[in-house]
Structure 1
């Protein structure tokens, strides 16, 4: 296991230290990158040699570029004579926002590769996404549910997946996607027939069980954050009775004044109940749940 504190935003390792293909190097140069972040410096040597990687890294550490560069290098190095329509790499993300960000980074870093990128996530035109995937993609980026939808409709198959990436694995558990993840992973070629990369803010027991079940002896990489929370975040815990919760909430909201406030609850009907209670006490509030269309959220 490789362990490194995230004491510096960049390492002494330069991208020029790696034997990357010209098309991959061109994307790095265009993005203005010269030196690796700690997660990149530890991930690239292992993954470029074909070793599976399970990395602990927070958002903003450069992990996306790490796995994208590995994917580009591997797919271009083993490019088939005839470009097929089915994806050769699968990147799974827990949210549409993360999928969109990965796609944006892929377009920047992979602009000289000639590889085709496809997106699959909910809340947008279903048929438009479907047509793009039917036309053929090399790298499929998306959320588990929408990818399963298209897979079951035979829009594509997963028999040719050579690189699998599971990003923010801990969030997959938190959001209840783990059954979908396991379903998709079982539809891929065997773990030893593909390269696997997993990234997570924490390498908890449940994340590691998933890694050992669906990966091929992954190398563990840990990048520890300097601080778990930001300096300006004030944290407090209250233990009210159920009868006192709403009164306490009203008091806290009024104490905080005019700023915007987010309140998280565990069920849709609870969100609606809190909204009604706040509105009845003269506090403007709106509940957001899966029933609200994405464009209205």
Structure 2
């Protein structure tokens, strides 16, 4: 299937997709959309950046657009549960774009903002609700929402829910949902807890797996810069002195570190802002919107705050610090390879980072080239590198295929 027009979607949805500049579906969209239109449960193993929001949103919008029913008070026809406020907002924005003109009632709810407008919207009944676990549990416990009319449940970024400590909350929410529903579970990885959950909540699911190599190997020009820790800021300035990259996302380890980098950039007259959990929700939303609108050249983020960032035309990702978890490396660099576009990713590596780097390379199944023609290059001790690599966890390379799909019989409800 090579065009969105080949899907049995409403003409208005096809038009909205086209207006966003998309004509050819990504592999996950090719696999998911027909299965979801058929009513199947689905297990999607895919990271952000593969087009999975449209993969689940378009069939839901299509279903409700074709079957506009009277919605009961304090209820929703679908629930999309996602870990972070930023990701929830972005999913809602995409849904509203795709659903324009269909008259669907939608709302996003999360903590850190006033709850009364959220309660008032749910009181009227919703077609689509996007929520984070904490605020949704608060609404449930206060009797502000019920799920008697729920038709579709989407659990997005399940492994991130686990990493962020939301897994118990997710289980409590699922216990409140009706058994008869269409269920979609998306996760970038499949730790044991997620596998058990998938078996418990999915019925004869279609399985779609998009491997990280589709992003890391083919679309992102990756490179390593060896240097001393004291030269990180000077190297950052050297990279940014050329106008080639006008939208740059920098990842660092800590909230404090993110603010230090921003202060240094602002002193050099480079527009920048930080994105981390120490900021209020209003400040985080303002920073992200300014970055989307190109009012900021640089956004400096921690992993948790940046998970699921969907911003067009990021041309460069810089790993100011390497992530401890190799999975986060793939999530990070995927910010610059959205919807089939290419980009660049530079990782700053000091001598003590060799073990982390080796784990990352084992995880993605490739050796990332080192750039020596840069002003702060440092030759590392070969003995030190060998010792660090020996300690690194050995991981087998992933299957090189872009994706695999297992079809299941259509589930009738």
Question: Structure 1-normalised TM-score?
Answer: 0.75
Look up the match of 1:117.
Answer: 106
SS at match of 1:197: strand
The 1:288/1:71 distance shift into structure 2, 3 A limit, reads closer
How many angstroms does 1:79 deviate by?
3.1
User: Against the structure 1 CA distance between its residues 231 and 16, is the aligned structure 2 distance closer, same or farther, given a 3 Å change threshold?
Assistant: closer
Alpha-carbon distance in structure 1 between the residues aligned to 2:105 and 2:114 = 19
| Per-residue deviation, 1:133 | 2.2
Paired position in structure 2 for 1:242: none
Tell me what 1:234 maps to.
224
Q: Secondary structure at the match of 1:89?
A: strand
Q: Secondary structure at the match of 2:107?
A: strand
- Contact kept, 8 Å, 1:159 with 1:187, in 2: the verdict is no
1:207 CA drift (Å): 2.0
CA distance in 2: counterparts of 1:69 and 1:295, whole angstroms: 29
In structure 2, the partner of 1:218 is 205
* 1:291 to partner: Cα distance: 6.3
Secondary structure of 2:9's counterpart equals coil
Tell whether 2:16 aligns with 1:37: no
1:158-169 paired onto structure 2 within 5 Å: 158-169=147-158
Alpha-carbon separation, structure 2, partners of 1:51 and 1:227: 27
1:54–1:197 Cα contact (<8 Å) kept = yes
Match in the other structure for 1:108: 97
TM-score (norm 2): 0.55
| Distance in 2 of aligned mates of 1:38 and 1:141 | 24
Secondary structure of 2:207 counterpart: strand
The whole-number CA distance in structure 2 between the counterparts of 1:132 and 1:173 is 29
SS at 2:23 equivalent:
coil
Counterpart for residue 380 of structure 2: none
Report how far residue 232 of structure 1 moved.
Answer: 3.6
Q: Which runs of 5+ in 1 are unaligned?
A: 1-11, 237-247, 266-270, 276-283
Instruction: Determine the structure 1 residue equivalent to 2:58.
Output: 69
User: Displacement of 1:180 after TM fit?
Assistant: 0.9
Give the superposed CA RMSD: 3.2
Using the alignment, how far apart are the partners of 2:224 and 2:145 within structure 1? 48
Q: Contact 1:27–1:112 (CA<8 Å) still a contact in 2?
A: no
What is the number of residues matched between the two proteins?
260
CA distance in 2, matches of 1:154, 1:22: 38
Structure showing greater relative contact order (alpha-carbon pairs closer than 8 Å, 6 or more residues apart): 1
Q: Deviations over 1:68-127 (max 9, x none)?
A: 1111122234432x2333110000111011001101101110102211111101222222
The residue number in structure 1 matching 2:127 is 138
More strand by share: 2
Verify the 8 A CA contact 2:81 2:154 in the aligned structure 1.
yes
